[in-house]
């Protein structure tokens, strides 16, 4: 089992002109190779935990992705360079979180070194999984 973690400050956009700085711990565990866990407010009494697809997070760096409770999109500067990644979480009560793109992209590259894209389920014993329960 291999793990990869990232700790960073993110902008939690409360209003269009008001962002609060929050802590975020992003983690990846090769034992659950399809998922990324984000824990916001790790220094508070009630941190908020979201689990989403690693590929969805990666795809959000290049274009708008997601539906329902999780949506992601890249933000570019005037020259077209990638500056940040926006993540909208929730449907009724939404949170808009903005990450600096570079540390997220570098961290994702490390996770893909641990478990390359497309090989996440290579170790699964499908025959055992599909046996009827007695």
CATH number of the structural domain spanning residue 60: 2.30.31.20
Q: Do the domain assignments include residue 16?
A: yes
The answer as to whether 33 is a domain residue is: yes
Domain count, the chain: 1
Q: What is the per-residue pLDDT for 130?
A: 75
92-110 CB burial, b ≥16 within 10 A, e <16 = eeeebbbbebeebbebbee
Confirm whether 20 is domain-assigned. yes
Q: What is the pLDDT of residue 118?
A: 86
| Domain with 32 in it | 3-129
- Answer whether residue 44 is part of any domain: yes
Per-residue pLDDT 10s for the chain (134 aa) are: 799 999 999 999 988 899 989 999 999 999 999 999 999 986 667 888 999 999 999 999 999 999 989 999 999 999 999 999 999 998 777 889 999 999 999 999 999 999 999 888 787 666 776 777 65
The reply to whether 134 falls in a domain is no
CA dist., res. 20 & res. 81, Å (int): 24
Helix (H) or strand (E) holding 102: helix 101-114
- Give Cα 34 to chain centroid, integer Å: 11
């Amino acid at each position: 089992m291999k793990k990869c973690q990232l700790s960073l400050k993110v902008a939690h956009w409360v209003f269009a002109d008001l962002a609060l700085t929050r802590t975020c711990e992003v983690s990846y565990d090769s034992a659950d190779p399809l998922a990324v866990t984000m824990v916001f407010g790790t220094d508070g009494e009630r941190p908020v935990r979201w689990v989403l697809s690693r590929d969805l997070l990666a795809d959000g760096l290049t274009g708008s992705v997601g539906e329902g409770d999780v949506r992601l999109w890249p933000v570019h500067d005037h020259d077209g360079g990638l500056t940040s990644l926006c993540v909208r979480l929730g449907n009724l009560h939404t949170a808009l979180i903005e990450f600096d793109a570079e540390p997220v992209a570098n961290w994702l590259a490390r996770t893909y070194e641990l478990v390359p894209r497309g090989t996440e389920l290579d170790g699964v014993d499908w025959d055992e999984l599909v046996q009827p329960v007695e």
